[in-house]
């Protein structure tokens, strides 16, 4: 926490003086004689009063502290709803997604959780869908049409290898293209190679167009087995300021059951690759999650929906400190009045 006017914190030096004044006032309290026939009852009342006599004073000190901190205009990082963002879903549709260690299958669990995730995002967010197996494909470019994304999710079929790097590359290409369109950029113009380019001087005072925030959600259940290097794309995502949130779907004992040529069943182990996915997330400044069950996967998507829908922003929280101080002050006054009315 920081303060907009830190010099006002010097007023906190008054707190020890207030505490000292309260202690001295307690020691110099007025002694007086009373006539009370039931001395045993009075002794019990006095003992209870003695045990709680410092509560109003403590509340008063806390109230003054909160009010003085508020005078320094405290600043804190608080979650603020985003106005807009681009979210790219990158989903593994390799053959191992047919494994049933995540009920009913990894593929169906991923479809259902991703569809629910769409409900957690603000309506103005654009969502795109990239899938990858042996190759990567953009099924839905960034759009606010949630039904288009859901319809595409319903068509997913698991088959082939795992080109994780190609899936990330395709998603980052889409994000870069969307950013160029949003900031007024476009394809490079054709220039006569024999012409001398006119000198240009960049204007340091020119306001740069805002770059729309973007994140990528990568869900995969296995190690990269085809295409480009996913770690190169993770570094590219870091440079583009596009954090990659990775989800490792499945369990270490997951297997894929397929018929063989002899009429039997061939069992192929298909464990997830959490180490690679964690490295991708760390490199891109994202976060890694494990989802060994459909319930875990849904919880992960719900958490990501809340996380992506907000951004951390420095805001002044003076009102909160002032309100807390006034409430504590009122509580101290109420307790003091109540205690003062108990004894004659």
What's residue 81's pLDDT? 55
What's residue 131's pLDDT? 94
Give the up-direction half-sphere exposure of residue 15: CA atoms within 13 A in the CB hemisphere.
17
What's residue 173's pLDDT? 94
Residues 6+ away with beta carbon under 8 Å from 141: 128, 174, 178
User: With contact defined as beta carbons under 8 Å apart, do 324 and 97 qualify?
Assistant: no
What's residue 33's pLDDT? 46
Mean pLDDT by 10 residues, the chain (344 residues): 81 82 68 51 52 74 84 74 78 90 89 87 87 93 92 91 93 90 55 45 49 84 86 94 90 79 76 91 91 79 66 74 85 73 49
Q: What is the value of pTM for the model shown? A: 0.64
Structure tokens at 288: 């890694």
What's residue 233's pLDDT? 94
Q: What are phi and psi of 267, to 5 degrees?
A: -105, 120
What's residue 239's pLDDT? 94
Q: What are the residues facing 138 on neighbouring strands?
A: 130
Fold of 81-183+209-313: Rossmann fold (3.40.50)
What's residue 79's pLDDT? 58
What's residue 37's pLDDT? 55
What's residue 59's pLDDT? 82
What's residue 180's pLDDT? 82
What's residue 174's pLDDT? 93
What's residue 47's pLDDT? 53
Cβ density class 269-290: b for 16+ within 10 Å, e for less: ebbbbbebbbbbbebbebbbbb
Give the up-direction half-sphere exposure of residue 172: CA atoms within 13 A in the CB hemisphere.
21
Cα dihedral across residues 168, 174, 179, 185: positive or negative:
positive
What's residue 296's pLDDT? 79
Q: Nearest to residue 54, comparing CAs of 341, 339, 343?
A: 339
Q: In what order do the strands lie in the sheet with 310-316?
A: 2-3, 74-81, 310-316
Output the furthest CA–CA distance in the chain (Å, rounded). 115
DSSP for 206-231, written as a single string:
SPPPPPPPEEEEEEESS---SSS-HH
What's residue 311's pLDDT? 58
Number of other CB atoms surrounding residue 154 within 10 Å: 8
What's residue 19's pLDDT? 81
CA distances from 103 to 86, 100, 249, 300, 341 (A): 30, 6, 11, 16, 66
- Show the CA angle centred on residue 221, arms to residues 220 and 227, nearest 5°: 60
């Amino acid at each position: 926490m920081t303060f907009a006017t830190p010099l006002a914190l010097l007023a906190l030096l008054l707190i020890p003086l207030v505490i000292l004044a309260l202690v001295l006032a307690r020691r110099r309290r007025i002694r007086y004689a009373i006539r009370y026939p039931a001395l045993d009852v009075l002794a019990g009342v006095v003992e209870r009063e003695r045990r709680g006599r410092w509560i109003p004073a403590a509340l008063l000190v806390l109230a003054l502290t909160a009010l003085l901190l508020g005078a320094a205009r405290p600043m804190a990082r608080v979650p603020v709803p985003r106005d807009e963002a681009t979210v790219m879903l990158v989903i593994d549709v390799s053959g191992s997604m047919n494994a049933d260690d995540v009920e009913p299958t990894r593929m169906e669990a991923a479809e259902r959780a991703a569809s629910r995730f769409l409900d957690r995002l603000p309506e103005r967010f654009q969502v795109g869908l990239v899938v990858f197996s042996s190759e990567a494909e953009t099924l839905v470019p960034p759009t606010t049409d949630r039904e288009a994304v859901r319809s595409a999710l319903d068509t997913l079929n698991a088959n082939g290898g795992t080109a994780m790097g190609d899936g990330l590359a395709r998603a980052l290409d889409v994000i870069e293209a969307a950013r160029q369109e949003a900031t007024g950029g476009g394809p490079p113009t054709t220039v006569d190679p024999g012409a001398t380019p006119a000198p240009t001087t960049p204007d340091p005072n020119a306001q740069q167009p805002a770059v729309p925030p973007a994140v990528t959600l990568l869900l995969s259940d296995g190690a990269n087995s085809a295409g480009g290097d996913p770690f190169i794309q993770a570094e590219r995502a870091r440079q583009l300021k596009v954090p990659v949130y990775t989800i490792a779907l499945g369990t270490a004992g997951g297997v894929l059951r397929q018929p063989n040529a002899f009429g039997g069943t061939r069992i192929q182990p298909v464990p997830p690759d959490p180490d690679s996915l964690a490295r991708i997330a760390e490199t891109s400044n994202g976060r890694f999650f494990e989802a060994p069950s459909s319930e875990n996967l849904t919880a992960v998507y719900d958490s990501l929906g809340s996380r992506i829908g907000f951004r951390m922003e420095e805001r002044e929280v003076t009102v909160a400190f002032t309100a807390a101080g006034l409430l504590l002050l009122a509580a101290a006054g109420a307790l003091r009045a109540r205690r003062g009315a108990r004894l004659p």
